[in-house]
Amino acid sequence: MLRFMPVGDSMTIGSSGDHTWRYRVWHHLCATYGGPFTLVGPRETLYDKSTDTPDSYAYADPDFPRGHLAGWGEGWQHMVPLIGDAVRRSRADVLLVSLGLIDLGFYTDAEQTARNARAFAAEARTVNPRIRMVWLPVIPNVRAANDEPFAAQVGAFNELLAKAAADLDERTSPLLLASVPETWDIHTDTYDGTHPNAGGEHKLAAAFADAMDQAWGLGGPYGG
């Protein structure tokens, strides 16, 4: 069985009432992947914004495998010390990673955030030397639209992330950089300028699915 682990921040964990992009990826793979697979990870909750607590009971589809490693307000620096144990316990084969906005917004600059991404890859490979990864750059967001210095940090980080992905890609442990959705619009693809609505969830899922299809022939092109 192929085991996918979604890793990310608030855009990945999702909140009560969201389907999440990880659900959209799962639904896509159910239709296109020819073998057994599941989503894994040490956490299973959504996030309840009304109480600022995890919510275990608000998933729209009871058949959806809930496993992930995502947290509201968490970034690369938070996941580096967690990823090794998470890979070990879940026996993950593929990491689908969407991180960086929180780091740049609150914790680290572009250079340190990129170093943390490299450390994350090293920790994951220490446990599973054959693990595959797909990294998504920081997507357009409302803060970058209104804060020019922050936008510059996002641009610098995305360039450094692309370099890290190229440097760290290995035949036995491939690392892909997904493409930021070309048509992403913070006004129509999010509900607050940052977090994806249903349309945004599909676009993020497509970024991961199409990268895996094009590079690995895994799952076919995203069909929504």
Vertex 116, ends 114 and 118: CA angle to 5°? 75
In this prediction, residues 134-138 reach a mean pLDDT of 98
pLDDT at 9 > cutoff 60: yes
pLDDT at 149 > cutoff 60: yes
pLDDT at site 11: 95
pLDDT at site 49: 67
* Helix/strand/coil for 34: coil
What does the block give as tokens for 199?
């349309």
pLDDT at site 147: 97
* Comparison of pLDDT for 128 and 58, the residue scoring more: 128
pLDDT at site 104: 98
pLDDT at site 52: 59
How far apart, in Å, are the Cα atoms of 61 and each of 20, 24, 96, 105? 11, 11, 21, 32
In this prediction, residues 108-115 reach a mean pLDDT of 98
Mind listing the pLDDT tens digit for each residue in 93-110?
Answer: 999 999 999 999 999 999
* Helix/strand/coil for 159: helix
pLDDT at site 77: 97
Domains of the chain: 2-216 (3.40.50.1110)
For the entire predicted model, the pTM comes to: 0.96
pLDDT at site 62: 79
Mind listing the pLDDT tens digit for each residue in 11-57?
Answer: 999 887 778 999 999 999 999 999 999 999 999 988 776 665 665 55
pLDDT at site 50: 61
What is the rounded CA–CA span in Å between residue 85 and residue 14?
Answer: 23
In this prediction, residues 60-68 reach a mean pLDDT of 87
pLDDT at site 140: 98
Please state whether beta strands 46-48 and 53-55 pair in parallel, antiparallel, or not at all (unpaired): antiparallel
In this prediction, residues 52-78 reach a mean pLDDT of 82
Please state whether beta strands 94-98 and 69-70 pair in parallel, antiparallel, or not at all (unpaired): unpaired
How far apart, in Å, are the Cα atoms of 117 and each of 32, 157, 199? 30, 10, 28
Q: If you average pLDDT over every residue of the chain, what do you get? A: 94
pLDDT at site 73: 94
9-23, 54-68, 190-204: which has the highest mean pLDDT? Answer: 190-204
Phi-psi region of 17 (alpha: psi -120 to 50; beta: other; left: phi over 0): left
